[in-house]
Structure 1
Amino acid sequence: MSSTQFNLFSFTGKMKILHMSWLAFFISFVVWFNHAPLMLVIAENLKLSQSEIKTILILNVALTIPARIAIGILVDKFGPKRTYSTLLAIGSIPCFMFAAADDFQQLALARFLMGFVGAGFVIGIRMVGEWFPARQLGIAEGIYGGWGNFGSAAAAIALPTLALAFGGDNGWRYAIACTGVMALAYSVVYFFSVSDTPKGSTYFKPKKAGAMEVTSIWDLFFYILMTIPLYAALTLLTWKLSPAGMKLLSDGSVIGIYIGIWLLFLYNLYKIVHVNEEHLTQPIEEIHKYKFKQVAILDLAYLVTFGSELAVVSMLPLFFHETFKQTGITTVQAGLLASSFAFMNLVARPGGGWLSDKYGRKLSLSICVIGCAVGYAVMSQINSQWSIVLAFAVTFLCSFFVQAGCGAVYAMVPLIKRRMTGQIAGMVGAYGNVGGVTFLTVLSFVTPEVFFLTIAATAVVVAIAVQFIEEPSGHMAEVMEDGSVAMIEVV
């Protein structure tokens, strides 16, 4: 490491890598969510129906689940420098496609492809994990995740103003195209400004690409079991667009997509077995073993933290407006109140990471998930009899535990197995999207009160699961190119 100090205002060594990486994540989220604040203008300009608008919003997240898995594999194989630069450059293409679209079909295709940009988060987790020691990893990953996540809020603030500055019917096009230019330019800057590891360090890669290595036959079955919900979530998304849901796809199209999803699952199953069959037939030394339950529990923790954040941020403005409309609250004011949930990312994610570094990763994650359960249980009781100030305070406090929980999850991800950090981060991140899809589907059938209670109950179950996670300790072993073993400190 270039320095043992953590100086946030430094722009050299590992701190330069942190700042360059959170900015890459920030830009990827600006691009990914560049449509949201301009959607009403786009809909008016291109004469979109309400069902078409909803389709665009769903398509924006559809590809992100498999993309996070794929990006995790790519970053472990090719390194974060090349992977992040390539993702930003390629991500600018659907951005320009969306800006130039003249009808719903073109918009839908561009938005579907844009979902791949949402996987950029995974890359920086591996990059930051390479540069920071375990005792600083939580706060470093928290800053990376929290400040980068703010890109969606920055898009909501800046892009309408930019569109107005350009003016005319095409102002939204120029504003969105500007985000594509920004991503393309930064892909070059990032490539020439960072390196995958500190000088003299080794970038460890998996022996085979395509799936995670596990170290026991039972973990192989566990891995396969934990893969199923990823494809189930894609199936659920397809159902929402089917004649039984929003009636936006024909029966034939839906059946074709279902078949495609589960054929992809079978291919994934083949890769999992292929990657693991050879080494599982031979004895594995104890120092090279890790427990897949660590990954599985973090999957569930991110499902309930980031997954609930995705769902709640989507429904909170309307919930506040409907609950307090008799007080005269406007849609703008309701939106501002609801935005506090996302704004907490700036401090709460780093806070969760810092708590993990300071007081232990298992304890911090336990407190955050329990805080989520209590927070959502209290939010379920919000009604028109409450004061707006009290409702805001409860929401603000709940959001702190949610975002801090996200930080606590990724404070532990890079400490499981270094050469597979990208793949582990990808799977955990994909579970966050699974949670968002699942909770929003629940919301479509129940009242907000039951919706919040459902998340609270899920958090209770996850809090119990977290008690079975093992605190990272000692060292993890990786094999050097010359066959020698490197021991990497995890405390």
Structure 2
Amino acid sequence: MKATTLNLLNVKSVPIRTFWITSIAFFICFFAWFGIVPFMPDVVKDLGLTPAQKWNSIILAVTGTVFARLLIGKLCDKYGPRLCYTWLLMIGAIPVILIGFVQTPLQFLICRLFIGFIGASFVITQFHTSIMFAPNIVGTANATSAGWGNLGGGANRLGMPLIAAAVVSFGVADEIAWRYSMVIAGIICFSMGLVYYFFTKDTPEGNFSELREAGSMPTLAKDKVPFASALKDYRVWILFLVYAACFGMELTVYGTMDDYLQNTFGLERTTAGNIVLSFALMNIFARTLGGFFGDGFGKLRGLRGRVLFLTAILMAEGIMLSVFSMTTSLVIGILFLVAFSLTVQMAEGATFSVVPFINKKAIGSISGIVGAGGNVGAFLAALFLKSKSAVAESAALKANASLGEEAMKTAQAMAASDAVSSGYFIIGAFVVLAAVASLAIKFSTEDEKEVLREMGGELKLSTVKAD
């Protein structure tokens, strides 16, 4: 039976045990995926990376994830989340370990590309929780597992230096500690794959292979049919756009926020980095809130209620970012940045409170497509901000070339701040447009009735307004 509550202490329950294991696995994947980030100054020095190669490594890591997320969703529908996560963790551990042995920039870039594949772990986590929890709680479960897993991308900024410090205490040279740290992260990934295989099941009733043999998997059609139907469903591509507008923008904004806070408000790098890290840690509760309210609106107004909440919170996200881009006061700016962090993460949770209801025969495929949308959004937004900033900085340096090095640095910082500020405003406007587009997501009366049946008639059909 699917779990109808998120009782985190009931680890004997298959859904709850799976929730914990999949959340931890997701955390470890994100920890390893971004594990090299705190060591980039050491990597640049050790391998002699150029600025272009450094940027390319970031882009390759995101690019690899896009294709992996599209593929893994389809594989989940066919083979089940247990085997998919096991193999992703164990195979994904290989490039994480190998990056500790690279000797050239090209080898480093190749490893970063393949390390990005473990970012597909998000799709498996969302798929696994979607089939473990009932409609009344699935949004909360999805959002919480995703939020806690995402913490790995921020925790590595603290955890990886601690691992490096431990390695150095055993006599390893400080400048190569990053290599040992990545090897250790890879071994942890591999070990988690074994845990996933032996301690989880595909569904509350058992594994896909067992259910197929028993002939008790009526919702699963041939592999090609669900994926084809997912590709043809306009709602999937709206959610692709929506996730690009929330998770994609979160990645981009936090990836550029350190420099923006320094250039705009004159903060020290450490202070700016700590502020950004603290906002990333809001994933502990903010995503959960998005899923929780998505479920709540679902109880009040059915599937349409979930969509309406998603629209509202996404629109709030865009407004918060655009207003933040125009602030010149540090205090006011921080307030709106907090509001943006809260709303963007709630929008991510709300997105995956809708995804499980689009097509129950293709939850994996749809999760993969929507999840890839986040990385596509991050990729395009990063290129947009990079191009705007590069043009503005080059013009500023050229205009102030005769005024001395200090004046040139100041002009460059101001130009970068103005360029990114206007970029944030435009991105905020894009998010608002994506929110409006989400209103086009519709569900049939039969879809609403099916949810009610699955919930055992907990809601009255009269409360549901189907389109």
TM-score normalised per structure 2: 0.82
Whether 1:177 aligns to 2:183 is yes
Q: Distance in 2 between matches of 1:436 and 1:164?
A: 32
Root-mean-square deviation (Å): 2.1
Q: Distance in 1 between matches of 2:366 and 2:384?
A: 27
**Percent identical residues:** 31
Q: Distance in 1 between matches of 2:128 and 2:87?
A: 15
Secondary structure of the corresponding residue to residue 192 of structure 1: helix
Whether 1:9 aligns to 2:13 is no
Secondary structure of the corresponding residue to residue 224 of structure 2: coil
Task: Name the structure where helix makes up a greater proportion of residues.
Answer: 2
For residue 350 of structure 1, report the CA deviation from its aligned partner.
Answer: 0.6
How many aligned positions are there? 403
Q: Distance in 1 between matches of 2:226 and 2:47?
A: 42
Secondary structure of the corresponding residue to residue 200 of structure 2: coil
Map 1:424-439 → 2, pairs under 5 A: 424-439=366-381
Check whether the contact 1:417–1:476 (CA below 8 A) recurs between aligned residues: no
Check whether the contact 1:416–1:476 (CA below 8 A) recurs between aligned residues: no
Secondary structure of the corresponding residue to residue 339 of structure 2: helix
Whether 1:162 aligns to 2:134 is no
Deviations 1:469-491 (A, max 9, x none): 1258655899xxxxxxxx75698
Check whether the contact 2:134–2:454 (CA below 8 A) recurs between aligned residues: no
Q: Distance in 2 between matches of 1:457 and 1:38?
A: 35
**Amino acid in the other structure paired with 1:355:** F
Q: 2:324 aligns with which of 367, 372, 379?
A: 379
Map 1:340-419 → 2, pairs under 5 A: 340-360=278-298, 361-383=306-328, 386=329, 388-419=330-361
Q: Distance in 1 between matches of 2:445 and 2:358?
A: 10
Check whether the contact 1:311–1:436 (CA below 8 A) recurs between aligned residues: yes
**Amino acid in the other structure paired with 2:265:** F
Deviations 1:113-133 (A, max 9, x none): 111111111011111111100
Whether 1:307 aligns to 2:307 is no
Check whether the contact 2:5–2:137 (CA below 8 A) recurs between aligned residues: no
Check whether the contact 2:63–2:375 (CA below 8 A) recurs between aligned residues: no
Inter-CA distance 477–198: structure 2 relative to 1 (3 Å threshold) = farther
Q: 1:207 aligns with which of 190, 197, 222?
A: 222
Q: Distance in 2 between matches of 1:54 and 1:367?
A: 35
Residue of structure 1 in register with 2:384 after alignment: 442
Check whether the contact 1:476–1:488 (CA below 8 A) recurs between aligned residues: no
For residue 199 of structure 1, report the CA deviation from its aligned partner.
Answer: 2.0
Residue of structure 2 in register with 1:335 after alignment: 273
**Amino acid in the other structure paired with 2:277:** S
Q: Distance in 2 between matches of 1:100 and 1:476?
A: 54
**Amino acid in the other structure paired with 1:40:** P
Check whether the contact 1:316–1:338 (CA below 8 A) recurs between aligned residues: yes
Inter-CA distance 338–213: structure 2 relative to 1 (3 Å threshold) = same
Unaligned stretches of 5+ residues in structure 2:
299-305, 389-418, 460-467
Q: Distance in 2 between matches of 1:393 and 1:473?
A: 42
Check whether the contact 1:340–1:396 (CA below 8 A) recurs between aligned residues: no
Q: Distance in 1 between matches of 2:429 and 2:2?
A: 45
Q: Distance in 2 between matches of 1:15 and 1:336?
A: 33
Secondary structure of the corresponding residue to residue 358 of structure 1: helix
Inter-CA distance 166–381: structure 2 relative to 1 (3 Å threshold) = same
Check whether the contact 1:165–1:171 (CA below 8 A) recurs between aligned residues: no
Inter-CA distance 113–102: structure 2 relative to 1 (3 Å threshold) = same
Q: 2:259 aligns with which of 310, 318, 340?
A: 318
Whether 1:196 aligns to 2:202 is yes
Q: Distance in 2 between matches of 1:148 and 1:320?
A: 26
Q: Distance in 2 between matches of 1:308 and 1:2?
A: 33
For residue 50 of structure 1, report the CA deviation from its aligned partner.
Answer: 2.0
Map 1:105-124 → 2, pairs under 5 A: 105-124=106-125
Unaligned stretches of 5+ residues in structure 1:
224-291, 479-486
Check whether the contact 1:95–1:176 (CA below 8 A) recurs between aligned residues: yes
Deviations 1:362-402 (A, max 9, x none): 1220111111121011111122xx0x332211101111110
For residue 6 of structure 1, report the CA deviation from its aligned partner.
Answer: 2.4
For residue 33 of structure 1, report the CA deviation from its aligned partner.
Answer: 0.7
Check whether the contact 1:416–1:472 (CA below 8 A) recurs between aligned residues: no
Q: Distance in 2 between matches of 1:411 and 1:3?
A: 15
Inter-CA distance 2–126: structure 2 relative to 1 (3 Å threshold) = closer
Deviations 1:78-130 (A, max 9, x none): 00000000000000100111011111111111111111111111011111111
Map 1:1-40 → 2, pairs under 5 A: 1=1, 3-13=3-13, 14-40=15-41
TM-score normalised per structure 1: 0.78
Residue of structure 2 in register with 1:64 after alignment: 65
For residue 437 of structure 1, report the CA deviation from its aligned partner.
Answer: 1.2
Q: Distance in 1 between matches of 2:284 and 2:73?
A: 25
**Amino acid in the other structure paired with 2:246:** T
Secondary structure of the corresponding residue to residue 49 of structure 2: coil
For residue 210 of structure 1, report the CA deviation from its aligned partner.
Answer: 8.4
Check whether the contact 1:300–1:462 (CA below 8 A) recurs between aligned residues: yes
Residue of structure 1 in register with 2:411 after alignment: none
Map 1:139-158 → 2, pairs under 5 A: 139-158=140-159
Residue of structure 2 in register with 1:454 after alignment: 426
Whether 1:298 aligns to 2:239 is yes
